[in-house]
Structure 1
């Protein structure tokens, strides 16, 4: 029984390494997603500030050229925001894939750990049975020896 456990230990170690790698990749993709979300928030904040500036400037009167520049820049900003939203979707998909890979690696590792534990329990039970058998034999011999001396 212990031989099976010893043979499985390298497999368990490899599974532990795979699970750690998958967890690290998941953490990295989550960090990238959070960074992309932060960038989107910054762009949206900048757009809001820019629109506030437009309203203030518009109250004082603006030239046609200023208005065209404003609209062109706002259009570019909207394009950047849309691209960032697409980036967030892409990063979210990466997080989902990384989470699936980690869950698979974790499930495999836990299965191997349970198998090793079961083998260890079986080995312990076998050792206990052998020890009990030995103790019974010793007790039986001692009993026979006492009967002979009486």
Structure 2
């Protein structure tokens, strides 16, 4: 007997499941990268704030050269924060792309599962109809065979 269509579709479902799992793993990696970049940004912002507080306290009684050095360092620190914010935005975009990709794979797998379930129900109904037809045919053959006595 030929393989049923629902069974053949199970191979397609297995491929879809593997693709979904790969997309989920990639999304997990991007989520971890996002957490890391957010932590980095938080540390930089905290470090800059501490330095700004120190700078504000030390403004009096410090040489102009030291203040310029401090100011230059704060500017570079601000640039580092800006750079980290840009990096964070890129990672967020990448994570969002991975999330959409996973979502597509997830919906594809679910659609395949639904289709396979529908095919199995249709195949089962067709099988039951064939069996019923065969039973009906056998019953009709028994009734129409010559030489058999019928009991009333």
TM-score range, shorter chain: 0.7 to 0.9
CA drift of 1:86 comes to 0.6
CA drift of 1:135 comes to 5.4
Q: Distance in 2 between matches of 1:47 and 1:26?
A: 31
Moved more, 93-102 or 50-59: 50-59
Moved more, 74-83 or 107-116: 107-116
TM-score normalised over the length of structure 1: 0.85
TM-score normalised over the length of structure 2: 0.84
Unpaired runs of at least 5, structure 2: none
Partner of 1:30: 31
Does residue 7 of the first structure (1) align with residue 8 of the second (2)? yes
Partner of 2:50: 49
Contact 1:2–1:120 (Cα < 8 Å) also in 2:
no
Q: Size of the alignment, in residue pairs?
A: 147
Partner of 2:101: 101
CA drift of 1:121 comes to 0.7
Partner of 1:91: 91
CA drift of 1:120 comes to 0.5
Partner of 2:122: 122
Q: Distance in 2 between matches of 1:134 and 1:49?
A: 87
CA drift of 1:56 comes to 2.1
Q: CA RMSD in A?
A: 2.3
Q: Distance in 2 between matches of 1:142 and 1:37?
A: 81
For residues 11-69 of structure 1, give each alpha carbon's deviation from its aligned partner in whole angstroms, at most 9, with x where no partner exists. Answer: 1101000000011111111211121111111100111111111122225x211121011
CA drift of 1:85 comes to 0.7
Contact 1:5–1:120 (Cα < 8 Å) also in 2:
yes
CA drift of 1:122 comes to 0.4
